[in-house]
Structure 1
């Protein structure tokens, strides 16, 4: 679903943005208002940082505090006329021919109002003329006026204006640019939904935290249809971030302040930044370069013995490049390439830069240079640049190695078909065993992640085995098969193939095969419950990947943190899993790696198990948007199930149904890194939200059997725990106890303890289960256990214990982001509801008639009414309306 604006402009729709991230500055203004001696409050900062927006908020707060208010905007034009900026605020009839007497008269007239002080906002105060500044200072000193002013950093101003900013009675704050976290909060407040992390990364980088630039970038992307929302999250089309005409005008005006002699430096920086200071001074004298720095257009950075120059804002380069004529651009690029070559191209990135500049200038470059540059780009994980360089190679210079690198780059960008075409050609031309093996490794991975049946990827591996005879080569293909078996949902079989994988990578020739095995082995270990070993392997693989990244054709080293998130979650360390995952996800976003979709999947799962459905929904929405972008159905299937489960638990049944509808039309595939059973969470929890607990348990029980058949022990434990929570504790408790014996870590025992306590309906056991669940960070499970304990104690007349357990449940539930489950809503009964009574009560509370309930449960209407009567008695209600209010069940379709 995309945003549609009917009869209203995007700029009007967005309106005035909320003020976010300026709490300390607003606190400072509150302090200024409370200070009877305060005469002014001045906000400083760079252009577009949000000074005017903050000053407006301050003026509104002054008005709310009883001040009479006024506004003025200084400008260069108004500054040429004495009192030009504030003439509209002066009382009529005051003779200003004698400034001393006239200014005193103005103060007297303004003070003669209804006894309230004035608060005056003066925007761009540094542009005020001297007469206006002197008058304002007199009004401030006489106590008539509280000045709220904005001043642009780095702008010159006279002594009179300086006097407005000076003295102990004037409060001053300087606004920094917004941090990424503040930008995220601002965008969510302005757009009404969460923004995907890649969109946040792009908008943060492009705007540099400048609020004006950020707003225009968002408006431009909305207008162009490049920033859209899918009902869950806003995401940005790949490679698209258009601005607006206003943004171009604002930046163009800023750049026009530069001396014409410095323009060549700005143009070259727009194409080739950062530059050595010597290269900038080759185009303009040192004093001109210094003037550009003084004007805030360039930044000079000293790093040991190297001094570099760059533009102060990324959007300056966009505007400058857009205005460069073709031949001027060509000349600048070729001259800079020649300049670096003349110095010997000694630095690591010089070859990449030279190749890129020559290619951009002429459309071609030396083939050897292009190949060397592509290697550097690939090792920097700049996949788009790698593709650009390799596609520029003439056909006669393309080799198996370049084809392998190009196919891998296409894979990392999610361009499956192009990757397969390139890799198939590379495979056909591969001669030596090493080339054949290298192509097989990348090609099978590409097929596995695409929507091809897993049998196709396995067939490629088998074909490679037929062509490779060396023990070392065949061993690598065995490792690759283990990688594929685990990735396609067969952890037990995959682990058997990886059983003798070395604990360390031994030499560069083994890097890619070892990293594949070392990445997938901890997934397999975590899925079969060996979480301690899984965490150790994940840490080992990450360290090794960092060390050998230059020699690898495997994704960014941060991908090795994905199985660590799974292992930590199943070990009962969700907070640690979240920290590790979010840090690694930021790295993967910066590298624009496709594999980040799986980190989002497992971060969502970690939050779901922690009992935070809103946060889980946000991560799964991010994963879904990515998976749709790359047509990555293997990830999309479990994600849509998770989205539906979160929405159902939060009471958003329409959204849950929409996710399941999309899930149903996906092609059938191997289950992937999660058990096929976990895809059923959405269906089960939607049924539960509609009161159909028996059907929900049936779905979960079948899903648990599917997980067990493939060896996914932790997935089976997750599903059986939900069976227990939905009224099937007696059926699930024994198997969960077995799984607790087979799985290490604290989470599996906590799950088993909860099921046993629910089956016994024993308040002491339920309290202990709440302790165990809280210890492993499972907040919603802890809240349910404490709620059930409170209910059990209440039924036995132990009101003090019941009250303590209820308070504890409420405290834990406050962290669960509005989650509502049947166990929470039906625990208020004076006697325990039977499984059937609970199910019928929830169905009735959802608005279903007795006849419809009887039909769906294959019971007689009389039996339904009898169970309902018993539930009424236990819950202390007499009507269905009271029943619905007591259970807080959503209405049908809510």
Structure 2
């Protein structure tokens, strides 16, 4: 891929292209006018329209109006006029031009006029005459807000002109453009950064991407493009474009622009104090600033975030300090009445003098933490000249949530030493234990820390909270029964808990674990209640205030185990909307795509599942979080193998094993290994891996995880081996998944088409398309063998419909259960799949612990049953059924 090309794919303007095609088919329209602000893609769209016309054989021309050309009559279009025409007399000359261009061998021409608002009046009059004479049709672009002359206005108005106005791209359109340009998906954090920085402006977006790629800060590791480093790089072309735009401001407006670049949003009165009311109004008229209404208060901000970048780069340090000092004084003189004023004043004072009032710094840090700006909180707290236990607890919690575990532990240890009360000591122990378990992946050390605290903090409230904290740690260590028992001590009302942070963590961890042990309905109910309670907590008092997004992720996990795919998807999108509009700690960026991957894997939408596993892996790398890497890379391996991308799956599996084991249950590791073996045709070994995983899950009490692994054993030819255990799990489990999994295994074991079709319908209604497709295609094969061709065709149609939503899934059932005259045995299927993958008979024999002669005998039986005579035909058969 070459990102140095100047023209990007035209993505996100499909509606406008359809409008053009419709308009151009109507002869009454002689002008197609594209309006919009600078950089939204007017010229790019106009060029695409012109090229489409040229491909049809129409004669086309192009002119670009400019301020320089506008001082010369016909300067912009002179090169398009026929030679030998005397234009000294415009009336006669224009008539002659019309006659020459309308000759019998000429035909109608199409002219693109870029930046029509800059066209000179003479050119506009001539073009109008040519349009009225049906000699020329025009495609033109006009920048919104520009003043145009009367002749130009007449040219693009009226019933014969059709106008469209281009807007900036929305977030989804930016994602489409980036994927088209880069060739693969872009991480959500990177998407948010690029969308915010560009404001959806196509030209700005292009320059930002080119600058980042050129410097290597936008790179693809794995299957997702991610930005690395701090500040988003630009290009000199983009800087010049922004400078030209800012140069349209009068000199008197510069202080206002610089103030907004430094402060972001300021009250309208403060902007007017930096200049005059008229200057501020002029800046708004030229589109450099925008006025916002916040209740009864009017505020002002720059119209585009890139304006601030360029202004700050050009602003001398001393002048910047003077502006910030004046703004801090203005805000203090107004009484600093708004909630976030303390945060702003602390930042401004710190920037201008290197220090600020300690009380102001502390207040600002609390507000920064509440808005999830943990890095800002760290900056303010580190500026304190002296620390107390409370300030160190705030700093340690901010470092923990900012993903800096070593610094967090050091600070929290100091806080514990300065603590004057048991409440402060409990806070220090709690946050240290969270830091050890969540960021360092060391729940055992966290448990030792908690146990030591129980000998020191002897109050009944503290003892109860330490038991609850131990319960959370036990859950993270893979001890669900013991952990859930300890969480029975959790208060019903969070505001009655001696430590709200511990209550919040427990209410966050309990639902996913309940769901994983088979109590999915209870888990969903508790997750809903916890989320609703969290939404009502507006007091920033807790040191660790898990965000709403974290509770949505917990609820999505419970819904996945309950089999409610539709609501899990809906809540995932709500979580992205909240996460995209705010800063947050690293874990939600890792766990949200991980849970979405689980949703799509359950649905059998393998491409989407693979995309979200890749997103989660990219965020693990970005935040240097190794705790989840083995899990998500194993998920990537499983989904790649399910799509038949064996080499990718092998690479992901190899990389996954280079990371430490994550806390249980780690179903992805078993799935990655098993589906990779299945892709190679080693179904016996794949079933053994899954059986080992199911046994481990059963021993630890993870009933839902066990059921999923057993179901995959059934899909890989071992239904008879697992049908009774799945029936037991269905009898004791909650939700829709346990019984439908048990019925699927029973239908596969019995090979009864009616049962298979019934469960296929049920699975399709639940949105589990891949399992539905496998059940239906197996039913079709059974019906075909029974001679019921009509029902076999209907079942095959259902299978095809479901499989079409599975994004290239290639499972053994879909590959080998196509209707045949005589069914293949399980061993014959294994041998056939290995042979289709190119293995020689001796290699197949070694893999399956058979003799080479036995392998060849099986192959001959396969050839006879399938009506083929060679390995090449065998490959063709399985290729057609994949």
Please classify the TM superposition score into its range, dividing by the shorter chain length: over 0.9
For the residues of structure 2 that align with 1:484 and 1:80, how far apart are their CA atoms?
Answer: 77
Give the structure 2 partner of residue 342 of structure 1. Answer: 333
Aligned counterpart, 1:815: 805
Equivalent in the alignment of 1:833: 824
Unaligned runs of 5+ in 2: none
Alpha carbons of structure 1 residues 670 and 717: separation in structure 2 relative to 1, 3 Å: same
Kindly indicate whether residue 406 of structure 2 is the aligned counterpart of residue 417 of structure 1.
yes
4+ residue stretches of structure 1 with deviation over 6 A? none
Matched, 1:630 2:620: no
- Which of the residues 668, 689, 693 maps onto 1:699? 689
Secondary structure of the structure 2 residue equivalent to 1:92: coil
Residue 23 (structure 1) shift: 2.0
Q: Which residue number in structure 1 is paired with residue 701 of structure 2?
A: 711
Q: Deviations over 1:86-132 (max 9, x none)?
A: 11111111111011111121122222274432111111110001011
Residues 821 and 483 from structure 1, CA distance in 2 versus in 1: closer, same or farther, beyond 3 angstroms?
same
Once residues 144 and 91 of structure 2 are traced to their aligned partners in structure 1, the CA distance between those partners, rounded to angstroms, is 32
Deviation at 1:747, TM superposition (A): 1.4
- 1:458 equivalent in structure 2: 447
User: Which residue matches 1:670?
Assistant: 663
Q: CA deviation at 1:587?
A: 2.0
- Which whole-Å CA distance do the structure 1 matches of 2:611 and 2:411 have between them? 36
Aligned 1:444-593 pairs, distance under 5 A: 444-507=433-496, 509-549=498-538, 550-552=540-542, 553-589=544-580, 590-593=582-585
Rounded to whole Å, the distance in 2 between the matches of 1:75 and 1:360 is 44
Counterparts of residues 92-103 of structure 1 (less than 5 Å): 92-103=83-94
Q: Specify which of 718, 725, 729 is matched with residue 715 of structure 2.
A: 725
Deviation at 1:492, TM superposition (A): 2.1
Whether 1:399 and 2:391 are equivalent positions in the alignment is no
- 1: CA distance, partners of 2:392 / 2:858: 69
Change in 2 beyond 3 A, CA 1:535/1:290: same
Counterpart residue number, 1:658: 651
User: Which stretch shows the higher mean deviation, 776-785 or 822-831?
Assistant: 822-831
Name the TM-score, length of structure 2 as normaliser. Answer: 0.97
Query: For each residue in 1:162-204, what CA deviation from the matched residue of structure 2 results, as whole angstroms up to 9, or x when unmatched?
Result: 0121011100000011010000011000100000000000101
> Are the aligned partners of 2:336 and 2:342 in contact in 1 as well (CA < 8 Å)?
yes
- Cα distance per residue 1:579-636 (max 9 Å; x no partner): 1012213323432321211111111111111101111111111100111222322211
SS of the aligned residue for 1:96 comes to coil
- Give the SS at the match of 1:121: strand
Q: Which deviates further from its counterpart, 479-488 or 157-166?
A: 479-488
- The 5 A counterparts of 1:143-292 are 143-292=134-283
Question: Shift in Å at residue 238 of structure 1?
Answer: 4.8
Alignment of 1:763-842 (within 5 A): 763-828=753-818, 829-842=820-833
Deviation of 1:303 (Å): 3.1
What's the offset of the Cα at 1:509? 4.6
CA–CA distance in 2 between the matches of 1:419 and 1:890?
Answer: 55
Q: What's 2:430 paired with?
A: 441
| Deviates further, 702-711 or 792-801 | 702-711
Distance 1:861 1:302 in 2: 80
Which consecutive residues of structure 1, in runs of 5 or more, have no partner in the other structure?
A: none
Task: Give the aligned length.
Answer: 877
Distance 1:116 1:500, change over 3 A: farther
The answer to whether the Cα contact below 8 Å between 1:846 and 1:890 also exists between their aligned partners in 2 is no
C-alpha displacement of 1:283: 1.5
Cα deviation, residue 16, structure 1 = 1.6
Are the equivalent residues in 2 in contact too, given 1:651–1:890 (CA < 8 A)?
A: no
1:518, 1:541 within 8 Å by CA — same for their partners in 2? yes
SS in 2 for 1:171: strand
Contact 1:486 1:523 in 2 (8 A): no
Report deviation, 1:744.
Answer: 1.1
For the 8 Å contact 1:491–1:527, the answer to whether it is kept is: no
1:127-163 Cα offsets, whole Å, 9 max, x none, are 0010111111111111111110100011111101101
Map residues 734-753 of structure 1 onto 2, 5 A cutoff. 734-753=724-743
Q: In the aligned structure 2, how far is the partner of 1:113 from the partner of 1:439?
A: 90
* Mapped partners of 2:399, 2:811: distance in 1: 44
Give distance in 1, aligned partners of 2:701 and 2:610: 27
> For residue 20 of structure 1, what is the aligned residue in structure 2?
11
Question: For the Cα contact (< 8 Å) 1:845–1:889, is it kept in 2?
Answer: no
- C-alpha deviations, 1:31-67, integer Å up to 9, x for none? 1111011100000001001111111111112223332
Q: Is residue 717–residue 736 contact of structure 1 (8 Å, CA) maintained in 2?
A: yes
Q: Indicate if the aligned counterparts of 2:444 and 2:477 stay in contact, CA closer than 8 A.
A: no
Q: Identify the residue that residue 91 of structure 1 maps to in structure 2.
A: 82
Q: Secondary structure at the match of 1:506?
A: helix
What is the Cα deviation at residue 84 of structure 1? 0.9
1:69 is paired with a residue whose SS is: strand
* Aligned match for 1:137, one of 108, 128, 131: 128
Distance, in Å, in 1 between the alignment partners of 2:355 and 2:147 is 48
* 2:336 is aligned with 1:331: no
Structure 1 residues 113, 259: CA separation in 2 closer, same or farther (over 3 Å shift)? farther
CA contact (8 A) 1:448 1:454 kept: yes
CA drift of 1:220 comes to 1.0
Partner SS for 1:235: strand
Superimposed CA distance per residue, residues 443-471 of structure 1 (whole angstroms, 9 cap, x where no aligned partner): 11111123443211111111111111111
Residue of structure 2 aligned with 1:594, choices 562, 574, 586: 586
Q: Are 2:846 and 1:873 equivalent residues in the alignment?
A: no
By how many angstroms is 1:563 displaced? 1.8
- SS in structure 2 opposite 1:70? strand
Helix, strand or coil: the match of 1:168? coil
RMSD: 1.6
**Rounded Cα–Cα distance in structure 2 between residues aligned with 1:890 and 1:814:** 13
Deviation at 1:737, TM superposition (A): 1.2
Deviation (angstroms), 1:777:
1.4
- How far, CA to CA, are the matches of 1:113 and 1:880 in structure 2? 66
Give 1:813 shift. 0.8
SS at match of 1:148: strand
Q: Distance in 2 between matches of 1:471 and 1:508?
A: 12
2:638 and 2:668 in contact (8 A); partners too: no
Match for residue 638 of structure 2? 645
Aligned counterparts of 2:368 and 2:57: Cα–Cα separation in 1: 61
* Residue 364 (1) aligns with residue 336 (2): no
Q: Which residue of structure 2 lines up, in the alignment, with residue 885 of structure 1? A: 876
Partner of 2:71: 80
Distance 1:345 1:689, change over 3 A: same
Distance in 1, matches of 2:418 and 2:301, equals 44
